[in-house]
Chains A and B, each alone.
Chain A
């Protein structure tokens, strides 16, 4: 039947499955079958521009939007004000509107297997996700579990996304089913939204040592590693030198109670790898809070299982991406690879919660 249709087909419209190409039809049935198998109260499988995705909602109205194939959370809107429609979008995402338009930003998991290199010479990264399970208690907790496996089945990776009234959690569990130990480098990067550049800061990193470091490369990151490390073009701000990163891999200890995010920076807050071989070393904080002076909202990011905290602020580069300001932050284990032995398991998670209510 496809051969009878004219060559110049209009772009297939998922609303009219008869005319669409077979790929879109499969997507529609996949969404329906997903809804049938895994749909619960608070978990709804939909399609966002031909890409299957799932919408999680809890009783107080907080919602979360997760794209299934790439495991990217494109929207998290918790209830932050007591008024009727008091939801505020926490994540900064661009794109993803129409088919073929790949969204960037949001919240995503970066997981690279450093012991195995993919075709292009770069390490294998977890990228194709399918829904494994879903659970909800129909009031205040919903959860979706995605799974991914690498080519030869030696790694079993599960990504659990949960939504609660005042928080949301993303967790990763990696099981090594192969015969050799694997080395992983991982991060959970969230692009958090701020009203504007001037009133954004982070509280809770004082006393932790940091050094300038590029972000892990990912498909959804707004700033590429090279862009993140470029110094800000000199202007009057740099004369005031807000949070300027020293060149090179020098480790400094954060002195300020509030880390101002006005200038451009890309850092990892962690215990220096050289320290980790000592018997005891200062651990980085397990949580930190973002402060947005304009909206008055703060969100706490909790790190579990990860060793480092990655923080990046685009400075004036944010104007390239649209209105408003954003930062890219999250727990990571990128300085020192995580070793998972055969038969072993590694778990790590991030929780974003707030007490703005």
Chain B
């Protein structure tokens, strides 16, 4: 019976990197941060009148003070993806910060936050209790925003137009890394009245799935 296909790659000891190529059609098209509709059961109807692709909706956002929505996708520490349900659950898209690891059943572990623009990404993440440094999160293990240690790497999945461009320090430290990777302490997120959504992958060096373009 379809109890939990034990012969699925999740259960045997296959290294996690090979088994997971998370199909981005589940994660990519970033609709307006319809956070509630991304989860399966919706209790309150959210009035979003945008449909696909657009990163801003002036209708919805005009009554609220300007803020940027974040979905942070996390990395978990368990190497395996465990089959928990009978069949894998459908994806959970999240608009802002994406943690690079997946929850045990294969869905991404996302945290949503909202913040004002005009700050460094590092400040936004630390103020909102998002894990930025991972194993380097200690008193002397990082340079606390100086732009010299290269431990605050994040990957920008969506929303890079709101962020400032790569600085020289970043270009130097992230020379060999993909172009979507940024240093959170050097990245300025828009200005005070920016609106939009950003998806950030935390700790991309440890992530287990790929974001397809």
- For window 10-66 of B, CB contacts with A under 8 Å fall at 11-13, 33-36, 40-44, 46, 48, 60, 64
Q: Does B4 contact A (CB under 8 A)?
A: yes
**Contact at B4–A135, with CB atoms within 8 Å?**
yes
Total number of A-B contacts with CB less than 8 angstroms?
125
**Contact at A141–B41, with CB atoms within 8 Å?**
no
* Stretch from A1-9, A93-101, A163-171, A236-244 contacting the other chain: A163-171
User: Given A145-B3, A279-B60, A349-B105, A164–B43 Cβ distance below 8 Å?
Assistant: no
Q: Does A302 contact B (CB under 8 A)?
A: yes
Q: Does A32 contact B (CB under 8 A)?
A: no
Q: Does B121 contact A (CB under 8 A)?
A: no
Q: Does A246 contact B (CB under 8 A)?
A: no
Interface size of B as a range: 35 or more
- For window 140-159 of A, CB contacts with B under 8 Å fall at 140-141, 143, 145, 158
User: Given A169-B82, A282-B128, A283-B112, A277–B44 Cβ distance below 8 Å?
Assistant: yes
Q: Does B6 contact A (CB under 8 A)?
A: yes
If over half of A's interface residues share one DSSP class (helix, strand or loop), that class is named, otherwise mixed; here it is: strand
Q: List the B residue with the shortest CB-CB distance to A350.
A: B84
Of the candidates A135, A137, A143, A276, the one whose C-beta lies within 8 Å of that of B36 is A276
Q: Does B155 contact A (CB under 8 A)?
A: no
Q: List the A residue with the shortest CB-CB distance to B86.
A: A173
Q: Nearest-CB distance from B125 to chain A (Å)? A: 11
User: Given A173-B86, A282-B128, A276–B43 Cβ distance below 8 Å?
Assistant: yes
**Chain B residues closer than 8 Å to A133, beta-carbon distance:** 1, 3
User: Given A137-B6, A280-B35, A286–B86 Cβ distance below 8 Å?
Assistant: no
Q: Does B170 contact A (CB under 8 A)?
A: no
- Give the most central of A160, A166, A167, A305: most B CB within 10 Å: A305
Q: Nearest-CB distance from A353 to chain B (Å)? A: 6
Of the candidates B74, B78, B89, the one whose C-beta lies within 8 Å of that of A286 is B74
**Contact at B41–A339, with CB atoms within 8 Å?**
yes
**Contact at A347–B85, with CB atoms within 8 Å?**
yes
Q: Does B103 contact A (CB under 8 A)?
A: yes
**Contact at A281–B35, with CB atoms within 8 Å?**
yes
**Contact at B48–A355, with CB atoms within 8 Å?**
no
Interface residues of B (CB under 8 A from A): 1, 3-4, 6-7, 11-13, 33-36, 40-44, 46, 48, 60, 64, 69, 74, 76-78, 80, 82-86, 89, 95-96, 103-105, 107, 109-114, 128-129
Nearest 5 CB-CB pairs, A to B?
A207-B129, A135-B3, A277-B44, A137-B6, A280-B69
